[in-house]
Amino acid sequence: MTQKQRVAVTRRLPRICEERLAARYDVRLGDDGVVYTAETLAAHAAGAAALLVTPSEALTAAAIAALPATVKIISTVSVGFEHVDLAAAKARGIRVGNTPDVLTDATADIALLLMLAATRRASEGERMVRSGAWTGLRPTFFLGTQITGKRLGIIGMGRIGAALAKRAQACGMRVLYHNRKPAADAAGATFVATLDELLAHSDVLSLHCPLTPETKGLLNAARIAQLPQGAVVINTARGGLIEDDALIVALQSGKIYAAGLDVYAGEPALDARYKTLENVFLLPHIGSATIETRTAMGMLAIDNMEAVLNGVAPPHAVA
Ligand code: DGY
């Protein structure tokens, strides 16, 4: 009997993904509680032909340099791949795959949820009911603001942006977007040629672009100043797109009416001031966290891995 190839997986996967792996490979499963360093990642990957990771692992140039020579592919269970140094992987001849498409609807749902929760003060309201501080319905009690008739500005009209545009239009919003060039499928949203113009016309602004050196800190104080008074900010993409200081000051002053955030720079740590603000709705990076979507992501990550182990290109290669 031929020996099974070893594959190293940093985190637990949905059961059917783990079963698929176990049927064909010698699987080394990581522990969800571990914070990996370059050294512990390399130790985990010892003897493995493939390494399945998530955005919680930093595959820096140093971490990639430390990986054993057996590793042929880094397959990330995510669409985002900013945590993998692609140049370092290429330099070592290691392929990198990601999991686009399958998380589009789940993530757009969370963006809509954040938008509604932020504008309707859901977090504050829930806390009030739980604490017993609710004293009953009054005509002017606990008023939020309505999304119907408002303008949604989307930065980054990819698949998730388009899926959010559909949802927002169904809620009666007018949708504008800014990209480097008009998108092939903008789901009926209107292209705006400059970011300045988009900002000036966004009652709600939702971020859907990747985190790159160019987009890091994109939503800074100067850009927040360009938004209409009382605008709402939504982020399901990456925390590093926002300068936290600038957003927090704007939330405190009322320039920004509310924010809905699922992602944070340095997560799971986040700027402690967010937790003190009533007008922020905070979620723990769960954009794609449904059993259906995480299963599909796991399966796609395994497809990428398996392709490379079978000597062909991964279906979703980023390097
Ligand atoms: C991704 O896929 O990049 C998400 O942020 C994690 O689900």
Active-site annotation holds for 243: no
Distance of CA 65 from the midpoint of ligand 1 (Å): 24
Active-site annotation holds for 6: no
Contact 176, 193 (CB under 8 A): no
For residues 133-140, average pLDDT: 96
In the chain, the percentage of residues whose pLDDT exceeds 70 is 100
Is the CB–ligand 1 distance for residue 103 below 6 Å? yes
In the chain, the percentage of residues whose pLDDT exceeds 90 is 99
DSSP state, residue 68: -
pLDDT at 2: 79
Mean pLDDT (the chain, rounded): 97
Q: All domains of the chain, ordered by start, with CATH? A: 6-102+291-309 (3.40.50.720), 104-282 (3.40.50.720)
pLDDT at 1: 63
- Write the pLDDT tens digit of every residue in 199-220: 999 999 999 999 999 999 999 9
- Write the pLDDT tens digit of every residue in 144-157: 999 999 999 999 99
pLDDT at 288: 98
Smallest CA-to-CA distance from 239 within 83, 122, 119, 113 is with: 83
Distance of CA 80 from the midpoint of ligand 1 (Å): 6
Is the CB–ligand 1 distance for residue 287 below 6 Å? yes
Catalytic residue among 159, 285, 294, 316: 285
Contact 208, 164 (CB under 8 A): yes
Is the CB–ligand 1 distance for residue 55 below 6 Å? yes
For residues 81-90, average pLDDT: 98
Looking from the CA of residue 287, the nearest atom of ligand 1 is: 7
Active-site annotation holds for 267: yes
pLDDT at 260: 98
| 188 Cβ neighbours under 8 A, 6+ residues apart | 165, 166, 169, 175
- Write the pLDDT tens digit of every residue in 175-193: 999 999 999 999 999 999 9
- Write the pLDDT tens digit of every residue in 112-131: 999 999 999 999 999 999 99
For residues 165-182, average pLDDT: 98
Question: How does DSSP assign 123-179, residue by residue?
Answer: HHHHHHHHHT------TTTT-----TTPEEEEE--SHHHHHHHHHHHHTT-EEEEE-
Vertex 67: Cα angle to 61 and 71 (nearest 5): 115
- Write the pLDDT tens digit of every residue in 232-242: 999 999 999 99
